[in-house]
Structure 1
């Protein structure tokens, strides 16, 4: 049952959000008509921005008082106040809980333990903060569309930044990048080639189509399939609708995040017998995802991230 749940979404990436988008890795891609929202990144080698933690510390400093301050002194004062109130409630005076050396040592031990627990909890909560960066003008919709077997290419906008929305930061990172019609052709081609190589478990081909980081994640999926004696077959991949979310450059690297809705046949077979163990080889399903591609100036586009809607 555990194995079955792992492959409930068997296609490439197993409906996860992982990879890198340069300086925008931990921000949410700009919404598009194809995909109005996206999941935050779940796995990436790119360090998460510290802006969220800095903002939290700034807010604490502005609103903090004697008992809001972090550190041992704040915990100690809170413990002393608690002990005094307890003494008052018991009718023995505000300082009755501190009447002996044993009582003082016991109090200090409790305060120290509480302080450690609070620090651990606060550190865990801060690590879960995922700031988003946004700004600029909304991109024109439908930069690349394929419907009913045909395809049309819309004019590429001059700016490709995300729309203004709440979050840490007020402007996208990197310089706006103008894409050409051939770039969108590359994105559609890579959609089919990556899915096909994954279906064939062709690691050499995948290594040419995606970044080393993405190859590491996809390699883990292929290893899991092999351990179970399975193959994830993907067939009849076809782009139905796609449009540009963001395109920008950072130094010598260029990035483009594209929302794509596509159809495919997705099923799992037993390698030794060819028996279908999951999915339906005859049924076409649909998926909508944000795919981010990257390249060095003048190089070939490669898949660098996948995010779910």
Structure 2
């Protein structure tokens, strides 16, 4: 009986670890950069999906923008806190299962102490499965709600301007469709975005901090510098070359006061390899074949200045 209990305990722990690993893997499916930076008042709202990035963008998890009602369109008032799944009814049910198992183990209920412990193990497994299903369910609902404009309402009309890359800079013929492009992104803007994409990747690979400061906002630069420093500490160097923009379009653009923002979905190919800083040996990636990435880049333009990268979010390829 003791060996069976030990086996089931190991099985339960393994199940919970595998669930956690799966969730982490799903969170890391997005492109080369994790979600960081600022999109102004839209920092914590998902940009509209486009033909280039039909899947929702990864949320911005690292930002200096404070979370206020202005930056959280679906925020709940402070005096009406929304209970999580582990609060209220869900928390009561799972808490009752856990407490019942603990009491059963301590008191040796059922057909003896061994059976009580087995009951606890089965309850732990059940709790892990329920928790995983609940997190996946609510995550999918949140992504579905945030992936469309107007707070999750069905899109009205064509929400993407329809720019295509490598013709990034050539407006499609005919009348301009109704879109989220409020400021009217022009040919020279799109050409600039494509150029900045390549320049940022080159500067990142060369660990050129001066170039990164010129191409990005101070906040975005701080996160890129942090990643470069982390690579150096681990004895690694990220080699990125042969960047080729395959497709792209405008997700949205808007103005806040005198500051312009443009969020662009870009799909590009590049040789992306992690090497040992000392020996040059390949740690990860393919040095001979380009990998495909889909990312959402937000650019900001202040009066008297050019466009700079202010945020980068990953997105899953279609």
TM interval, short-chain normalised: 0.5 to 0.7
Question: Which whole-Å CA distance do the structure 1 matches of 2:178 and 2:264 have between them?
Answer: 15
Shift of 1:144: 3.5
Counterpart of 1:18 in structure 2 is 36
Query: Secondary structure of the residue that 2:202 maps to in structure 1?
Result: helix
> Could you list the per-position Cα deviations for residues 210-248 of structure 1 after superposition, in whole angstroms to 9, with x for gaps in the alignment?
010011101111101111222100011010000000011
Q: 1:308 aligns with which of 287, 305, 314?
A: 314
Let me know the Cα RMSD of the aligned residues.
3.3
CA contact (8 A) 1:254 1:295 kept: yes
Query: Secondary structure of the residue that 2:201 maps to in structure 1?
Result: helix
Counterpart of 1:73 in structure 2 is none
Matches within 5 A, 1:138-287: 138-146=158-166, 153-155=170-172, 157=176, 160-161=179-180, 176-287=182-293
Counterpart of 2:53 in structure 1 is 35
CA contact (8 A) 1:35 1:288 kept: yes
CA gap 1:285/1:14 in 2 versus in 1, 3 angstroms? closer
CA gap 1:235/1:157 in 2 versus in 1, 3 angstroms? same
Question: Which whole-Å CA distance do the structure 1 matches of 2:242 and 2:60 have between them?
Answer: 28
TM norm structure 1? 0.63
Query: Secondary structure of the residue that 2:195 maps to in structure 1?
Result: helix
> Could you list the per-position Cα deviations for residues 17-71 of structure 1 after superposition, in whole angstroms to 9, with x for gaps in the alignment?
11100111111101111112212221111112335444474588xxxxxxx9xxx
Query: Secondary structure of the residue that 2:301 maps to in structure 1?
Result: strand
Aligned length: 221
* Structure 1: gaps of 5 or more residues: 61-67, 69-128, 163-175
Shift of 1:158: 7.3
> Could you list the per-position Cα deviations for residues 138-178 of structure 1 after superposition, in whole angstroms to 9, with x for gaps in the alignment?
434431411xxx6662249476428xxxxxxxxxxxxx211
* Structure 2: gaps of 5 or more residues: 1-23, 83-87, 89-141, 151-155
> Could you list the per-position Cα deviations for residues 52-99 of structure 1 after superposition, in whole angstroms to 9, with x for gaps in the alignment?
444474588xxxxxxx9xxxxxxxxxxxxxxxxxxxxxxxxxxxxxxx
CA contact (8 A) 1:33 1:141 kept: no
CA contact (8 A) 1:160 1:248 kept: no
Normalized per residue, the structure richer in helix is: 2
CA contact (8 A) 2:168 2:187 kept: no
Question: Which whole-Å CA distance do the structure 1 matches of 2:285 and 2:227 have between them?
Answer: 17
CA gap 1:295/1:158 in 2 versus in 1, 3 angstroms? farther
Query: Secondary structure of the residue that 2:203 maps to in structure 1?
Result: helix
Deviates more, 1:283-292 or 1:31-40: 31-40
